[in-house]
Amino acid sequence: GENVEQHPSTLSVQEGDSAVIKCTYSDSASNYFPWYKQELGKRPQLIIDIRSNVGEKKDQRIAVTLNKTAKHFSLHITETQPEDSAVYFCAASTKIIFGKGTRLHILP
Partner 1 sequence: GAVVSQHPSWVICKSGTSVKIECRSLDFQATTMFWYRQFPKQSLMLMATSNEGSKATYEQGVEKDKFLINHASLTLSTLTVTSAHPEDSSFYICSARDGQGHTDTQYFGPGTRLTVL
- Binding residues for partner 1 (CB under 8 A): 32, 34, 36, 41-46, 49, 51, 89, 94-101
Residue 16 gets which letter from DSSP? T
Smallest gap from Cβ 79 to partner 1, in A, equals 25
Cβ at position 83, least distance to partner 1 in Å: 19
Nearer to partner 1, 43 or 69 (CB): 43
Residue number with CB closer to partner 1 (52 or 78): 52
Nearer to partner 1, 36 or 73 (CB): 36
